[in-house]
Amino acid sequence: MFQLRARVFQDRMGWDVTVEDGREFDIFDNLDPVYLVALDDSYNVIGCNRMLQTTGPHMLTDVFQDILMGEPPLRSATVWENTRFCIDTDRLKQPGSTRSVSATACELMAGIAEYAYESGISDVISVVDPAMDRILKRCDNAPHGYLGQTVQMGKTKALAALSDITEERIARIRNFAGITGNIFADEDEVADALAARSTDDTMSPDLRDYCDEQIAAATTEHEKRAAVALRAALAQTIRSSSDIRATPQ
């Protein structure tokens, strides 16, 4: 996620951000934010978003305060701020990608709204540029209001969009993008998949292809979790066997 942020905000957009070891990270990442991470079918990161409470330091108040034009910052336990929304357009545009940029953006937007709704968050502030504001409107996720004024920020303009978190908003985003079912991955499934991927290099190409085919052929979440667990178990068994053979006797 932090590597994607570095590629998008430093390399592509040219923002003045702090990047170390290929990862973009700022002081707000130290404030226990919520991260929403979009994954493709191979569990690669293809999008992300950060959410911060407005009761403490956040970007609109402490970085983009010019937008407020002297107005007091909006602080509430039920109003949170969205920042660092980005999509890995390079990966999604590669041949063979099963996800589109627009579908991924909508899925991430739906995830933000659903997480907020389930967490009792009533409104979300997003500091966006005019292009992102137009994207929100095209996705039937138009802000219901704005704070302060649109101001020049470096090479682009910035404005603070305010979105109410309601069932109606969630339904609009889902209907626009044709999203059905649960969009949140099971944490155990992801952990198993990442563990399997970390040891995939020990598997033969035929066995790895077989496991990938089983995952791709799964028609239910239960079948997919079972296929992912099988790959993880096989990879772990192979790695354990390799460790035993490598142990001096």
Q: What is the pLDDT along the chain (249 residues), one digit of tens a residue?
A: 999 999 998 998 888 899 999 999 999 999 999 999 999 988 899 999 999 999 999 999 999 999 999 898 889 999 999 999 999 999 999 888 888 999 999 999 999 999 999 999 999 999 998 989 999 999 999 999 999 999 987 777 889 999 999 999 999 999 999 999 999 998 888 887 777 666 556 677 788 788 878 888 888 877 877 887 787 777 777 766 655 555 454
Residues with Cβ within 8 Å of 3's Cβ and at least 6 positions away in sequence, in order, are 22, 23, 24, 45
pLDDT of 220? 81
Q: For residue 55, what is the DSSP state? A: S
Q: How far apart are CA 124 and CA 24, in angstroms?
A: 23
Residue 207: phi and psi, rounded to 5, are -70, -40
Beta strand 156-164 with 19-20 is unpaired
Here the contacts of 213-218 (C-beta below 8 Å, separation 24 or greater) are 215/41, 216/41
pLDDT of 198? 63
CB–CB of 234/211 below 8 Å? Answer: yes
Q: How far apart are CA 147 and CA 159, in angstroms?
A: 8
pLDDT of 218? 85
The two tokens of residue 211 are 């496991």
CB–CB of 72/53 below 8 Å? Answer: no
Q: What is the pTM of this model?
A: 0.78
Could you give the 3-state DSSP secondary structure of residue 47?
strand
Residues with Cβ within 8 Å of 111's Cβ and at least 6 positions away in sequence, in order, are 36, 38, 49, 183, 184
Q: What Cα–Cα distance (Å) separates residue 34 from each residue in 17, 115, 182, 232?
A: 20, 10, 19, 28
CB–CB of 58/81 below 8 Å? Answer: yes
Taking residue 224's Cβ as centre, other Cβ atoms within 10 Å add up to 20
pLDDT of 123? 97
Taking residue 130's Cβ as centre, other Cβ atoms within 10 Å add up to 12
